[in-house]
């Protein structure tokens, strides 16, 4: 798939990566942006495509039927590598491009395991990296009133150290092959509605500080933080010890013991008074932070506060990706122009110094991919169409910057070359 823009979605199990893609499609399909760019799922794998469709339908159903209830979500985990293909097109034309979103199961980040080499290969060859973060565990780890979660649990659940190891193996080819890394705190509704989304962003900076520091040393890697409200009207309520209940010796259901141990709340939100002749409780041994871990993760419970499916900022992921890759193509074109000037004018001393500042010691001479090659990832969308599309997104205020916690923490050098005076 050399002609497809590739996005690697990294993060722990049940963080909500599929729901994030579902929100992206839903927001763009039903918003005014559909007049600028259209999106649809063209995933070849039927199981993966059905999973995406089911995610949207399940979220909408929960909103309609579980209003006011507190229940568990994200009860399924990813299998192996799952590829989702989204098609972006220019309305009223036949111009379109595909973007591959690869979801890597959290269990594959365990270092030294059988899929380790495969993950490393994807890290080296992909263009964009979305780091999905489970916000409840991120924030509850420093909640002094919560004794069930801590930094060790959060780091293990979100695979903080593993992601650091893999991301430090990015290869931007000394600046000639720019990469985009977006840290995406998911399920941020509670903090967004409380006006404390800044605290979430600061936690990302703190927890992932070693990774951010490592990424800052690359010549041409952009790093953003982009908090997402995955559903809009389902907010994090609390964490409780992961328990299971055996009913009449037959049915085992996930649950929480509540109201001073007088009631049990089941995973679907139903509540019953505890009857020890009927209910038998035990710890949920499946509630571990990751495979082969001894760390028990508490269950995160969510409450439905509205009936409408209103994801927020999922679409920003698409806009940031498209904008980044356009800049990457334009950057390559500028490099090629400077090389032509070098050949024509024998490369003035002033220009050589300037380009060395932009690209590092290797200078412009190290260019691995031509702009024509990079443009093939636009599919049948022309460069002119992509320029027009991106300008419309920018001028229409669709691309958010420094808003609701969205922040660029490290700029790439994709625009720096335009500042060089020849």
Pick from 103-112, 202-211, 277-286 the range whose average pLDDT is largest. Answer: 202-211
Q: Residue 167: inside a domain, yes or no?
A: yes
- Domain of 253, CATH number, reads 2.30.30
- 393 found inside a domain: no
Task: Annotate 247-278 with DSSP letters as a single string.
Answer: ETTTEEEEEEEETTTTEEEETTS-EEE--TTT
> Which pLDDT band, with edges at 50, 70 and 90, does 366 fall under?
very low
| Residue 274 maps to a domain | yes
Q: Which of 292, 325, 358 is the last residue of a domain?
A: 325
Q: How many domains does the chain have?
A: 2
Is 97 a residue whose pLDDT tops 60?
Answer: yes
Give pLDDT, residue 76.
56
Question: Do 52 and 144 belong together in one domain?
Answer: yes
pLDDT in tens, 336-354: 888 777 666 554 444 444 4
Same domain for 201 and 89: yes
Q: Are residues 59 and 29 part of one domain?
A: yes
Judged against a pLDDT cut of 60, whether residue 120 lies above it is answered with yes
Phi and psi for 69 in degrees, rounded to 5?
Answer: -85, 155
Query: Which tokens hold the place of 336?
Result: 């090629």
Q: Do residues 218 and 250 both lie within one domain?
A: no
The reply to whether 212 falls in a domain is yes
Whether residues 163 and 274 share a domain: the answer is no
Mean pLDDT of the chain: 87
Structure token pair of residue 352: 């050589």
> Which residues does 398 contact at the CB level (< 8 Å), separation at least 6?
33, 36, 315, 319
* 176 in Cβ contact with 359 (< 8 Å): yes
Within a domain: residue 43? Answer: yes
Asked if 313 and 189 sit in the same domain, the reply is: yes
- Could you read off the pLDDT of 213-223 as tens digits, one per residue? 999 999 899 99
For residues 316 and 292, state if they share a domain. no
pLDDT of residue 78: 55
> Does residue 367 carry a pLDDT above 60?
no
Task: Give the model's pLDDT for residue 113.
Answer: 62
Instruction: Assess whether 243 and 222 both reside in one domain.
Output: no
User: Which whole number is the average pLDDT over 256-265?
Assistant: 95
For residue 110, is pLDDT > 80? no
- CATH number at 222 reads 3.40.50.300
166 and 152 within one domain: yes
Element (H, E) at 129: strand 128-134
Query: Does the residue 361 lie in any domain?
Result: no
223: containing domain: 5-234+308-325
Give, to the nearest 10 degrees, the angle between helix 383-395 and helix 314-345. 130
Q: Looking at the structure, do residues 181 and 292 belong to the same domain, yes or no?
A: no
392 to each of 2, 37, 333, 380, how far by Cα in Å?
A: 28, 10, 22, 19
The SS3 call for residue 96 is strand
Three-state secondary structure call for residue 406: strand
Asked, for residue 170, whether it belongs to a domain, the answer is yes
Q: What is the pLDDT of residues 29-60, one digit of tens each?
A: 999 999 999 999 999 888 888 888 888 888 88
The residue ranges of DSSP E strands in 42-127, in sequence order, are 70-72, 82-89, 96-103
Domain presence at residue 215:
yes
Q: Are residues 124 and 55 in the same domain?
A: yes
Question: Per-residue confidence at 417, pLDDT binned at 50, 70, 90?
Answer: low
Same domain, 222 and 204: yes
């Amino acid at each position: 798939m050399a002609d497809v823009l590739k996005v690697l979605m990294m993060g722990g199990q049940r963080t909500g990566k599929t729901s994030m893609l579902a929100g992206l499609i839903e927001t763009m399909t039903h918003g005014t942006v559909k007049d600028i760019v259209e999106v649809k799922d063209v995933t070849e794998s039927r199981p993966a495509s059905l999973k995406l469709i089911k995610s949207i339908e399940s979220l909408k159903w929960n909103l309609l039927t579980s209003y006011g209830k507190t229940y568990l979500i994200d009860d399924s985990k990813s299998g192996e590598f799952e590829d989702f293909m989204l098609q972006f097109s220019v309305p009223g034309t036949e111009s379109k491009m595909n973007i591959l979103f690869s979801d890597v199961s959290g269990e594959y980040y365990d270092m030294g395991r059988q899929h380790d080499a495969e993950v490393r290969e994807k890290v080296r060859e992909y263009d964009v990296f979305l780091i999905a973060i489970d916000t409840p565990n991120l924030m509850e780890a420093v909640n002094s009133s919560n004794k069930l979660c801590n930094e060790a649990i959060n780091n293990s659940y979100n695979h903080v150290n593993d992601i650091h190891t893999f991301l430090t193996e990015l290869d931007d080819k000394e600046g000639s092959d720019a990469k985009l890394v977006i840290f995406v705190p998911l399920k941020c509704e509670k903090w967004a509605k409380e006006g404390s989304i800044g605290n979430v962003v600061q936690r990302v900076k703190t927890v992932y500080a070693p990774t951010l520091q490592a990424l800052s040393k690359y010549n041409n890697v952009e790093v953003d933080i982009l908090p997402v409200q995955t559903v809009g009207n389902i907010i994090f309520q609390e964490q409780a010890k992961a328990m299971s209940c055996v009913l009449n010796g037959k049915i085992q259901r996930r649950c929480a013991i509540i109201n001073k141990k007088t009631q049990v709340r089941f995973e679907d939100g139903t509540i019953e008074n505890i009857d020890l002749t009927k209910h038998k409780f035990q710890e949920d041994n499946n509630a571990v932070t990751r495979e082969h871990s001894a760390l028990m993760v508490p269950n995160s419970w969510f409450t439905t506060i509205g009936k409408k499916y209103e994801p927020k900022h999922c679409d920003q992921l698409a806009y940031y990706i498209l904008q980044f890759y356009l800049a990457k193509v334009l950057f390559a074109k500028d490099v090629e122009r400077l090389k032509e000037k070098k050949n024509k004018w024998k490369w003035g001393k002033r220009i050589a110094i300037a380009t060395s500042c932009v690209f590092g010691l290797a200078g412009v001479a190290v260019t691995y991919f031509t702009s024509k090659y990079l443009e093939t990832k636009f599919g049948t969308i022309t460069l002119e169409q992509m320029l027009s599309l991106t300008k419309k997104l920018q001028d229409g205020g669709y691309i958010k910057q420094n808003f609701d916690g969205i922040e660029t923490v490290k700029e790439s050098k994709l625009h720096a070359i335009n500042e060089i005076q020849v």
